[in-house]
Amino acid sequence: MTPSATALPVESPKAFLGVAHSLTGKLWRDRLDARGAAQALAIVQRHQLPEMLARVLAGRGVDIDAVPDFLDPTIRKLMPDPFTVTQMEAAARRIADAAARGEKVAIFGDYDVDGATSAALLAWHLRHCGLDPLIHIPDRLFEGYGPNTEAVRALAQKGATLLVTVDCGTTSIEPLAEAKRLGMSVVVIDHHQCGEALPEVDALVNPNRPDDLSGLGHLAAVGLTLVTLVAVSRELRRRGFWTGVMPEPDLLSVLHHVALGTVADVAPLVGLNRAFVAKGLIALRRRDHVGHTALMDVSRLNGPPEAWHLGFMLGPRINAGGRIGRADLGVRLLLEGDVTEAGRIAAELDRLNTERRAIEQDAEAQAEAEALASLGMEDKLAVIVTASEGWHPGVVGLVASRLKEKFSRPCFAIALEPGGIGTGSGRSIPGVDIGKAVRQAVSEGILLKGGGHAMAAGVTLRKENLAEFRAYMEKALASEVAEARHVNELLIDGAVSARAVTVELAATLNRAGPFGSGNPEPVIALPAHQLVYADEVGQAHLRLRFKSGDGAIVNGIAFRSVGQKLGNALAAHRGQQLHVAGSLAVDRYQGAERVQFRVIDVAVPDQGPNLIR
């Protein structure tokens, strides 16, 4: 019989298990305060749920009456009326007009996963309407982000009368003005933050525009595209367009795309997004989509896909085409119906992803050395801006992300071209809006181009403006970064012993998933467990084993920890007792299931009796 997982009381109101300063410098805090603990108890009593699951739900602010819907989020309940989005009605009418008239429609998408899935979703729907849309995904190196005048002219020459941009277009004022001059109608479906000036188009569907009150600003572009297609289908239904010859397509049958784009774009997994991903994962598990199945197979995905697989295994392969290969490979795979051809495209994306990793690692090592030199001994910089000639522009976003993880502050990585122009990406930490600061730098003339979200941004600048950009970002973000980094804390959902770390416990906690941005994975503590084994494996990972006081063993892994604070702490405490914090995952190999503890932090226990015997 599997022992039940029991959450332990907090030792003090300030530090979970008394950990005020872990070996990586974090303060451990109970995610639940007294009110949250009472809420968890009420959930246990009302819904007869395991205590640990109740603690996880309470820690994510789930109201006691909302528990059943949270555990089974449905799109039907959460889908709003699409017309609550500003200019959605105009967009739906114009796209419906194109379907009714049999027009040539051009789709212009971004080169990342969100853009690829958005373009594939829209193209799939238009094909069901009897159209054969043109699809253009810009080359990251030669065209850059968003619509450009040359591409717009080329699409017009091919006969396009309607241009629909997905995951881009909000800031593309001149290229879209050119589209209008050439006689094209333009519909923009985008979710990026807006500047003061908006393009003159037939419809700008963007829940982040200042005059939008829909509350859907958290949607990724692919989710917004689905909402738009709900509106288009409804408009076509009103017109009597759908017949036995032209049946209405089932939008819920392509939630694979929506789940992949939403997770890969790090959209918060709350509300409608969470339902999209939950149901999209079910669709992926059916293996009924040729392109997604080929992608899962080439990624060597064992067992049913989970949200983290989309972000760390499937998404990077789709992205690899846009980063260092052909930008349209991802869209082609997602629209491919032939199993053999889908396998060929997926294999090419896998090859490009391997190549991308090697390029990224070289640039990351250089960027990290530059960052360390910039920080010096005093560690005073609020923002890290690294730049170098020879970096591939397709990997700078990944490099910035790695730097952000290592140095816990906003980081930029910029690839300098021979002509003196730099293109780069920035990644931020919670509570620091770099998208806003980047747009301000554009308005000040420091950047040639720039934009993005609070957590991620893209920049284009002249090499001679690099120092000015560094100084500007430092000044603009110093106070926000100081506030965000003031308390470096780790929130803990509960504590168990090794014997309770089972596949069943992992499955219980997963009922609160899918986990990701906005719905953090539960963090569980193992109090006073002995580190009995630690050895390097793979690409800088540490394979671990911990033993509780009763002799039970739990297998663990600390990803990318070798040479980092966590890896150094583990290596220095072999054979010793540690408080361990991490998350649970099920490792599937050759048909067998084993639970794995993914370690994210460790601390030396205070001297005294073990908290769990």
pLDDT digits (tens, 9 = 90+) for 582-603: 999 998 877 788 999 999 999 9
Within 13 Å of residue 348, how many CA atoms lie on the same side as its CB?
18
Asked whether residue 419 is domain-assigned, the answer is: yes
452 & 505 share domain: no
Where does a domain end: 454, 484, 514?
Answer: 484
Asked whether residue 365 is domain-assigned, the answer is: no
With b for 16 or more beta-carbon neighbours within 10 A and e for fewer, the 362-400 pattern comes to ebbebbbebbeeeeeeeeebbbbbbbbeebbbbbbbbbb
d(CA 303, CA 380): 45
C-alpha to C-alpha distances, 538 to 32, 559, 582, 601, nearest whole angstrom: 36, 9, 19, 20
C-alpha to C-alpha distances, 261 to 42, 330, 588, nearest whole angstrom: 36, 11, 25
Sequence-separated (6 or more) residues with CB below 8 Å from residue 590 = none
137 & 227 share domain: yes
103 & 241 share domain: yes
pLDDT digits (tens, 9 = 90+) for 300-330: 998 899 999 999 999 999 999 988 878 899 9
> Given pLDDT bands bounded at 50, 70 and 90, which one contains residue 228?
very high
Where does a domain end: 484, 519, 542?
Answer: 484
Tell me the CATH number at 266.
3.90.1640.30
Burial (CB count within 10 angstroms: exposed 0-12, middle 13-18, buried 19+), residue 338: exposed
> Given pLDDT bands bounded at 50, 70 and 90, which one contains residue 406?
confident
With b for 16 or more beta-carbon neighbours within 10 A and e for fewer, the 273-300 pattern comes to bbbbbbbbbebbeeeebbbbbbbbebbe
Domain of residue 518: give its range.
Answer: 16-32+493-603
d(CA 553, CA 532): 9
pLDDT digits (tens, 9 = 90+) for 198-215: 999 999 999 999 999 999
pLDDT digits (tens, 9 = 90+) for 516-543: 989 999 999 999 999 999 999 998 999 9
- Residue holding tokens 């500007």? 472
82 & 126 share domain: yes
Q: Between 397 and 613, where is the model more confident?
A: 397
d(CA 401, CA 24): 19
pTM, to two decimals: 0.90
Residue length, the chain?
Answer: 613
Asked whether residue 255 is domain-assigned, the answer is: yes
Residue type at position 455 = M
Q: Are 89 and 81 in contact (CB under 8 A)?
A: no
455 & 498 share domain: no
> Given pLDDT bands bounded at 50, 70 and 90, which one contains residue 613?
very low
Asked whether residue 52 is domain-assigned, the answer is: no
| Number of structural domains the chain divides into | 3
Instruction: Give the residue among 406, 415, 583, 590 at the shortest CA–CA distance from 512.
Output: 583
Q: Are 545 and 563 in contact (CB under 8 A)?
A: no
Where does a domain end: 451, 484, 517?
Answer: 484
480 & 548 share domain: no
302 & 430 share domain: no
Tell me the CATH number at 433.
3.10.310.30
Percent over 70 (pLDDT), the chain: 96
